[in-house]
Amino acid sequence: MNGMKITRKRAKKLYKVLEEEKEKIREESKEEGDEYPYGKWERERKEIVERLQDLPDLVEEAASQLKVERPKRGRKQKLDPAQKTMLFLFARLTQKSNRDMEIILSMLGPVFGVNVSYKTIERLYSDEEVRMVLHNLFLLLLEKSDVSGDCSGAGTGYSLQTGKHYRSESKKNGDKYRHIFRLVDLKTGMYIGYGYSNKSEKEAFKRAVEFVKKHDIPFHKVRLDKYYSNKKDIRELGEDVEAFVLPKEDLSNFGYEWHEILNRIKEDPYGFLKDYFKRELSETYFGADKERFGRKISQRREDRRETASFATAILHNLFTVRLPPS
* pLDDT score recorded for residue 118: 76
Q: Cα–Cα–Cα angle for 121, 124, 128, nearest 5°? A: 170
Collapse the DSSP code of 152 into the 3-class scheme (helix H, G, I; strand E, B; otherwise coil) and give the result: strand
Q: Alpha-carbon distance 121 to 315, whole Å?
A: 18
Nearest to 55 by CA among 89, 20, 22: 89
SS (H, E, C) 35-57: CCCHHHHHHHHHHHHHHHHHHHH
The answer to whether residues 188 and 322 touch, using CB atoms and an 8 Å cutoff, is: yes
Question: What φ, ψ does residue 78 adopt, rounded to 5°?
Answer: -70, -40
Nearest to 150 by CA among 198, 172, 183, 122: 183
* pLDDT score recorded for residue 21: 74
* pLDDT score recorded for residue 250: 66
DSSP single-letter state for residue 167:
G
* pLDDT score recorded for residue 95: 72
The single-letter code of the amino acid at 257 is E
Give me the DSSP letters along 263-323: HHHHH-HHHHHHHHGGGHHHHHHHHHHHHHH-SB----SHHHHHHHHHHHHHHHHHH----
Q: How far is CA 53 from CA 29, 48, 59, 86, in A?
A: 38, 9, 11, 13
* pLDDT score recorded for residue 108: 60
**How confident is the prediction along the chain (326 residues), in pLDDT tens digits per residue?**
455 555 566 666 666 777 777 777 766 665 555 444 445 555 667 778 888 889 999 999 999 999 866 666 656 667 899 999 998 998 888 876 666 666 666 666 666 566 777 788 889 999 999 999 999 999 999 999 999 999 999 999 999 976 555 555 545 555 789 999 999 999 999 999 999 999 999 999 999 999 999 999 999 999 999 899 888 999 999 999 999 998 877 665 666 778 888 888 889 988 999 999 999 999 999 998 998 888 899 899 999 999 999 999 999 999 887 755 54
Torsion of the alpha carbons at 135, 139, 144 and 150, rounded to the nearest 10: 140
Q: Alpha-carbon distance 197 to 239, whole Å?
A: 25
* pLDDT score recorded for residue 106: 66
- Residue 90: which H helix or E strand, with range? helix 81-94
Count CB-CB contacts under 10 A for residue 158. 22
Q: Alpha-carbon distance 20 to 102, whole Å?
A: 57
Query: Quick one: fold of 1-31+148-296?
Result: Nucleotidyltransferase; domain 5 (3.30.420)
Query: What residue segments make up the domains of the chain, in order of their start?
Result: 1-31+148-296, 38-68+80-144
Count CB-CB contacts under 10 A for residue 157. 22
Length of the chain (residues): 326
The answer to whether residues 173 and 157 touch, using CB atoms and an 8 Å cutoff, is: no
Q: Alpha-carbon distance 102 to 116, whole Å?
A: 6
Q: How far is CA 293 from CA 181, 285, 299, in A?
A: 16, 11, 15
Nearest to 304 by CA among 93, 124, 125: 125
